[in-house]
Amino acid sequence: AEAFIGRMETHRRLNAFITETPERAVEMARASDARRAKGEAGVLEGVPLAIKDLFCTEGVRTTAGSHILDGFTPAYESTVTANLWKAGAVMLGKTNLDEFAMGSSNMTSYFGGVENPWKRRGDNRKLVPGGSSGGSAAAVAALLAPGATGTDTGGSIRQPASFCGIVGLKPTYGRCSRWGTVAFASSLDQAGPFARTVKDAALLLQAMAGHDPKDSTSAPLPVPDFAAACGGDVRGLKVGIPREYRVEGMSAEIDALWQTGIEMLKAAGAVPIDVSLPHTKHALATYYIIAPAECSSNLARYDGVRFGLRVPGKDLAEMYDNTRAAGFGAEVRRRVLIGTYVLSAGYYDAYYKKAQQVRALIARDFKQAFAQCDVILTPTAPTAAFAAGDKMDDPVTMYLNDVFTVPTSMAGLPGISVPAGLDGDGLPLGLQLIGRAFDEETMLRAASALE
């Protein structure tokens, strides 16, 4: 713990942490030593972790990357973090993120952007770590923590893992409890781990996951031995290659990397097969209706009365207005406006209802594909990490970065990003494996074959 606290302090320029909790880390590490001395070690005994600042942590300020939660210190612990502490893990601090997890670059954080520890060869410009879990991904990549938590609504674990050259896993929707995690889009949000290897990610997930009666969408299923699935035999495993993921604008390098991934799995005895996910082209448009709709409803609670920031006004309505205008950044306001628009009486059928119907078709595509294959292999993102400031003036180009991760989220399926190589500029690129619902084990088995 001391070694990682030291690195956290010497790497503040990355801006990976919003809140450092070194005293808590030392206290937890001492308690862990005491348990170990009694022979009571849990699976993560003494392992220091960085926690995305979207998980409520008892007695430690939780910001969600927003100004509106100013001064908010939860009186409760999220189920996922409580599970990690039960397994013996130690909290190093709370990591930076896009405001309310809305973004793909970490640039929408009220606390400023995070610097990706990677740089293009011969180019000193700062690059983004991806988002929204950019602080967690950068922390693990820069060895400020051996592992971290993230949340993934449309790619926020997998895309930053790809940009930072580490492993990031989004489990099946319902695998991890959402209780005590600040909500963005409740039908999509899932917690998951970042780590340097597939097996470390499996161990972290094992501790994080499990049924929780406090979240009605948490699956009442036992947690399998995820670590045992890693490194297993993939001979005969059918790997679907979806032809619709060869999107326009995807670089030749990413296509080549995808081929390399296929060859690696083939060499390990797996069998690539061509599959079709015909509604992929509608996934982004559908996601950017459903996610803002749910966000507009979830964020209605920040009214200056119950949490955090309050900016007074002459009456209650003006206090609401002033608080929300001062507390929310531009991207969050944009999403709330889109969300309330698509949910309004005159447009509900045309936008929100239609999007839900398309979502069902996207889920059906995966169901049909998984009748033929065991896992699906795709690139994680269409680009490597981009320069800070790029894509910021046009939200649509930013949204396009989620093209490969969003369909999985819409279908509630598990996905993992594994580092797969470097591009011509020396930047890491990831490949994504997608599994059947609640079959993270097969996905982990295949992911190990890519390491």
Residue 134, both tokens: 């950019």
Question: What would you measure as the largest C-alpha separation in the chain, in angstroms?
Answer: 70
| Contact between 132 and ligand GLN per CB under 6 A | yes
Q: How many residues bind ligand GLN (CB under 6 A)?
A: 13
Q: Could you tell me if 274 and 136 are in contact, meaning their C-beta atoms sit under 8 angstroms apart?
A: no
Q: What are phi and psi of 433, to 5 degrees?
A: -110, 135
Smaller CB distance to ligand GLN: residue 90 or 166?
A: 166
Which of the stretches 95-103, 175-183, 248-256, 316-324 binds ligand GLN when contact is defined by CB under 6 A? Answer: 95-103
| Contact between 101 and ligand GLN per CB under 6 A | yes
Alpha carbons 99 and 329: distance in angstroms, whole number: 8
Beta bridge partners of 421: 429
Which are the catalytic amino acids? Answer: 52, 132, 156
| Contact between 104 and ligand GLN per CB under 6 A | yes
Q: How far is the CB of 250 from ligand GLN (least distance, A)?
A: 18
Residue 80, both tokens: 């996922």
Q: How far is the CB of 189 from ligand GLN (least distance, A)?
A: 7
| Contact between 294 and ligand GLN per CB under 6 A | no
Which of the stretches 1-9, 78-86, 98-106, 441-449 binds ligand GLN when contact is defined by CB under 6 A? Answer: 98-106
Smaller CB distance to ligand GLN: residue 237 or 283?
A: 283
Q: Concatenate the DSSP letters of all residues of 328-365 into one string.
A: S-HHHHHHHHHHHHHHSTTTTIIIIIHHHHHHHHHHHH
Select the residue interacting with ligand GLN from 291, 403, 413, 429 (CB under 6 A): 291
Which of the stretches 100-108, 196-204, 298-306, 337-345 binds ligand GLN when contact is defined by CB under 6 A? Answer: 100-108
| Contact between 381 and ligand GLN per CB under 6 A | no
Q: How far is the CB of 192 from ligand GLN (least distance, A)?
A: 10
Which of the stretches 86-94, 154-162, 296-304, 316-324 binds ligand GLN when contact is defined by CB under 6 A? Answer: 154-162
C-alpha angle 273-278-284 in degrees, rounded to nearest 5: 120
Structure letter (DSSP) for residue 234: -
Select the residue interacting with ligand GLN from 63, 153, 177, 417 (CB under 6 A): 153
Nearest by Cα to 369 from 243, 285, 247: 243
Alpha carbons 30 and 48: distance in angstroms, whole number: 12
Cα–Cα separations (whole angstroms), residue 33 to 27, 28, 42, 292: 10, 9, 11, 45
Which of the stretches 146-154, 206-214, 240-248, 433-441 binds ligand GLN when contact is defined by CB under 6 A? Answer: 146-154
- Return the residues of window 312-341 that contact ligand GLN according to CB under 6 A: none
Select the residue interacting with ligand GLN from 154, 168, 242, 412 (CB under 6 A): 154
Nearest by Cα to 97 from 129, 61, 140: 129
Q: How far is the CB of 334 from ligand GLN (least distance, A)?
A: 11
Radius of gyration, alpha carbons of the chain = 21
| Contact between 102 and ligand GLN per CB under 6 A | yes
| Contact between 77 and ligand GLN per CB under 6 A | no
Structure letter (DSSP) for residue 127: B
Residue 271, both tokens: 């069998």
Q: HEC string of 141-168?
A: HCCCCCEEEEEECCCCCHHHHHHHCCEE
Select the residue interacting with ligand GLN from 129, 135, 146, 155 (CB under 6 A): 155
Q: How far is the CB of 409 from ligand GLN (least distance, A)?
A: 7
Q: Nearest residue to ligand GLN, using CB?
A: 156
Smaller CB distance to ligand GLN: residue 173 or 184?
A: 184
Alpha carbons 272 and 264: distance in angstroms, whole number: 11
Binding mask 182-201 for ligand GLN (x = CB under 6 A): --x-----------------
Sign of CA dihedral 299, 303, 309, 314: positive
Smaller CB distance to ligand GLN: residue 1 or 64?
A: 64
Q: Is 208 helix (H, G, I), strand (E, B) or coil?
A: helix
Structure letter (DSSP) for residue 172: -
Alpha carbons 111 and 104: distance in angstroms, whole number: 15
Smaller CB distance to ligand GLN: residue 153 or 172?
A: 153
Binding mask 337-366 for ligand GLN (x = CB under 6 A): ------------------------------
Select the residue interacting with ligand GLN from 156, 162, 286, 323 (CB under 6 A): 156
Residue 413, both tokens: 């399926």
Q: Point out which residues bind ligand GLN (CB under 6 A).
A: 101-104, 132, 152-156, 184, 291, 402
